[in-house]
Structure 1
Amino acid sequence: MQKTGIANLPLHSGKAPYWLFKRMVALSRAIVELMIIELGREELLRRLSDPYWFQCLGCVLGFDWHSSGVTTTVTGALKEALRGVEHEFGLFIAGGKAKKALQAPQEIINYAEYSGFAPQPFIYASRLSAKVDNVAVQDGFNLYHHTIVFTAEGHWCVIQQGMNETLQTARRYHWLSFTLKSFVEEPHEAVCCDVKIPALNFTAKEAADLRKAATILSCENPEKIIKEMKKIRELSLPERHMVSLSDINPENFYKIFLQTYEKQPSNFESLLEIKGVGAKTLRALALTCELLYGTPLSFKDPARFSFAHGGKDRTPYPVDRTLYDRTIEILKKAIEEAKVERSEKLAALRRLVKITQV
């Protein structure tokens, strides 16, 4: 990941008014359709995974230039724009804010049953990307929004957002399947926030030994782990951010360590996938690994990017509804012309094939 800039994303209350949201939906559909025609679905996914392009899209759609709501509103508008035409466009969106995020697996299954593709790879990507950002990257931001955008060919991007109520700040996480080499080592296309804080980061490249040690330890007999954890509570360790000894009660972890012992995870990714392995479990493993194996903890915050540009809040100026509607009409016309041009090109190619076959 390369740092490309910084801007702010404070938490804002409220939502887009109906008159604006319906226009956002119409303009989103026009933009998506035109981009698919001109650039293809894969390029659209690539651009959605770019935090600056995504933010600029929110500005073009007329939403707040610096609000945390741009994430939920823009993905919501895109999802609504594709409703009923997902199979025609070959582009699908699952998830959303709060409870809608939990519906992502079932939505993926529903799309798959209609279009005939295997849902499991997308469900796995959806579930594990969320768990990485909630558990493996312990940065103080709790996920409340998760969206996966994907094609039947197997490509996908994930856009999800966490909230830190104390800091009154949101953090957006971007994933892209094209560039993903590992779910658990530097997996993000971008992590966007206006603050960087000490974070217990299991996905940092330098945390490879920690991930390996935690996996080995999770396969040990639970009695051994609990015994070592009790030693941790008796030691005077250096002050750590995001790793609290006070919430590590060895007796509370016996059941989950028994579960990991029975499943014998082969790597950190399979450990993370086990139901019940949460943030506290990983913190307990991390401290125990440091005690047993001397593996250093990584406090490298993955946030590298932030946000850019504007409308709903009348900044830099109120949304011009007439101009907005005119833009939608122009894009619709461009789409129709692109379709006509495309069909004419196909017809010409067919004629050429017939000539060459004579």
Structure 2
Amino acid sequence: MRNVADLPLHGGHVPAWLAQRMRKLTRLVLILAVEEYGTRGLLERLSDPVWFQAFNNVIGMDWDSSGSTTVTAGMIKDALWREELGVKAAGGKGKKSRATPEELKTIAKLYDLDPERYIRTSRLVAKVDSVALQTGYQLYHHVFFLDEEGNWAVIQQGMNERERLARRFHWFDAETFTQDPHNAISGLRRDFALNTVSRKAREYQRSLIDFVQEKPERIERELKSLKAIAKGYRPLVYYKPRDVDEVSLLRRYESLGKAELNKRALEFARELGVSNYEEFLLLKGLGPSTLRALSLVLELVYDVHPSWKDPVTHPPDPFKFSYAVGGKDRVPFPIDKPAYDELISFLEELVSRHPEEKALVRNVTKITKNWKFPEEEKRPT
């Protein structure tokens, strides 16, 4: 599973008294999850945005806060390093995300794994969600989970500063990075997104790899001509693709940002002889602006198109999330400290019990598995 969620930007911070409780509860939930499902099962659940959001709500964060990702992922990372559960985490928010490669080397050494494979995966995941799939979000958070068997999951988040919204991306053991790598996606659907990793964009990917073998100067000339045409200029010879509105298409691209070429990145592509889309995405200097420029030329000159469908499939629903002790911002109700402490005490006792004595919890889970929130009791928050 690889998923996505949209969240609004919230201010404030987690008070010390709540953070202390969150750390304890996070540790206990992780221990029980690994005991029940194994490390792979834990990673599968972290890659599910609904499960991750439920985890976030159980420890006391809000269901719709952008800060829930950074706080919850940070709590999980800290707990995994304190406990030996067979799974660790690398990266984090801002500067911490740039430490991911070195931290992955440490984890890989601990579990006797090849670090280069996971460092490459980390880079590719970031390139897909910042370059290959463009919806107006700038990545600022990246956490990479790796277990002793080599299974991995990634949770990263991007921010749309203009709309003050965040979008969260989840990954799990992806077999491909260029053919619909996101699955069961939850978020606010956009009218369009530059999606070059859709299965419908295979022809686009092949054409782009061929196209970047051209001299960067030629590609730049075509880009400048197209921008002039979109502003009303018509050359003596102009072959217009059928049913294409150049002005509307250019505005669509510009709504995502500038369309400018990094010619040095294109020179790298020619020198290295890139043969597939993964290699192309990993090129040094390849950013969203360059991909927009290349896509614009491919559409208007060669009539080759990416997908413009935002790969969101499940809008966020607050009634799918779990509230155990309240929310940090008093939604849906203030944190109930006595209930929180009682929950921690109960789970500490449970963790210390013999495995056979934990059957009670599994039975309760079976009973409540298909429970749904009563429609007549739903109220907006």
Q: TM-score, normalised by structure 2?
A: 0.81
Residues in 2 aligned to 1:8 and 1:257: alpha-carbon distance in whole angstroms: 33
Residues in 1 aligned to 2:185 and 2:60: alpha-carbon distance in whole angstroms: 23
Residues in 1 aligned to 2:6 and 2:125: alpha-carbon distance in whole angstroms: 24
Higher mean C-alpha deviation, range 53-62 or range 183-192: 183-192
Out of 292, 298, 305, the position equivalent to 1:296 is 305
CA contact (8 A) 1:42 1:155 kept: yes
SS in 1 for 2:82: coil
Instruction: Give the equivalent residue in structure 1 for 2:248.
Output: 239
Higher mean C-alpha deviation, range 286-295 or range 261-270: 286-295
Out of 255, 258, 266, the position equivalent to 2:264 is 255
Instruction: Give the equivalent residue in structure 1 for 2:198.
Output: 204
Deviation at 1:190, TM superposition (A): 4.3
Aligned identity (percent) is 39
Residues in 2 aligned to 1:50 and 1:256: alpha-carbon distance in whole angstroms: 35
Instruction: Give the equivalent residue in structure 1 for 2:25.
Output: 27
SS in 2 for 1:299: coil
Deviation at 1:339, TM superposition (A): 5.3
Instruction: Give the equivalent residue in structure 2 for 1:115.
Output: 111
**Deviations 1:9-41 (CA, angstroms, capped at 9, x unpaired):** 321012211111121111111111111112111
Q: Is 2:186 the counterpart of 1:192?
A: yes
Instruction: Give the equivalent residue in structure 1 for 2:329.
Output: 313
Q: Is 2:158 the counterpart of 1:162?
A: yes
Higher mean C-alpha deviation, range 307-316 or range 207-216: 307-316
Residues in 2 aligned to 1:102 and 1:7: alpha-carbon distance in whole angstroms: 23
Counterpart amino acid of residue 36 in structure 1: V
How many aligned positions are there? 334
**Deviations 1:271-316 (CA, angstroms, capped at 9, x unpaired):** 0011111111111111222234210232111222343344111112
Ranges in structure 2 where 5+ consecutive residues have no aligned partner: 231-245, 359-381
Pairing of 1:43-122 with structure 2 (within 5 A): 43-85=41-83, 88-122=84-118
Instruction: Give the equivalent residue in structure 1 for 2:290.
Output: 281
Query: CA 1:247 to 1:320, structure 2 compared with 1: closer, same or farther past 3 Å?
Result: closer
Instruction: Give the equivalent residue in structure 2 for 1:324.
Output: 340
CA contact (8 A) 2:93 2:140 kept: yes
Higher mean C-alpha deviation, range 90-99 or range 240-249: 240-249
Query: CA 1:147 to 1:221, structure 2 compared with 1: closer, same or farther past 3 Å?
Result: same
Higher mean C-alpha deviation, range 240-249 or range 27-36: 240-249
Query: CA 1:170 to 1:306, structure 2 compared with 1: closer, same or farther past 3 Å?
Result: farther
Counterpart amino acid of residue 339 in structure 2: L
Counterpart amino acid of residue 33 in structure 2: M
Out of 342, 352, 355, the position equivalent to 1:336 is 352
Deviation at 1:333, TM superposition (A): 1.8
SS in 1 for 2:120: helix
Query: CA 1:8 to 1:275, structure 2 compared with 1: closer, same or farther past 3 Å?
Result: closer
Instruction: Give the equivalent residue in structure 2 for 1:143.
Output: 139
**Deviations 1:127-182 (CA, angstroms, capped at 9, x unpaired):** 111111011111001111111112121111111111112222111111111xx231
Residues in 2 aligned to 1:287 and 1:325: alpha-carbon distance in whole angstroms: 57
Query: CA 1:8 to 1:259, structure 2 compared with 1: closer, same or farther past 3 Å?
Result: closer
Residues in 1 aligned to 2:340 and 2:224: alpha-carbon distance in whole angstroms: 63
Pairing of 1:164-183 with structure 2 (within 5 A): 164-177=160-173, 180-183=174-177
CA contact (8 A) 1:109 1:119 kept: yes
Counterpart amino acid of residue 168 in structure 2: R
Residues in 1 aligned to 2:263 and 2:132: alpha-carbon distance in whole angstroms: 20
RMSD: 2.4
Pairing of 1:341-356 with structure 2 (within 5 A): none
Query: CA 1:156 to 1:8, structure 2 compared with 1: closer, same or farther past 3 Å?
Result: closer
CA contact (8 A) 2:201 2:307 kept: yes
Ranges in structure 1 where 5+ consecutive residues have no aligned partner: 343-358
CA contact (8 A) 1:218 1:260 kept: yes
Q: TM-score, normalised by structure 1?
A: 0.86
Out of 116, 130, 139, the position equivalent to 1:134 is 130
Residues in 1 aligned to 2:24 and 2:87: alpha-carbon distance in whole angstroms: 16
Pairing of 1:221-236 with structure 2 (within 5 A): 221-236=215-230
CA contact (8 A) 1:138 1:242 kept: no
Residues in 2 aligned to 1:8 and 1:134: alpha-carbon distance in whole angstroms: 15
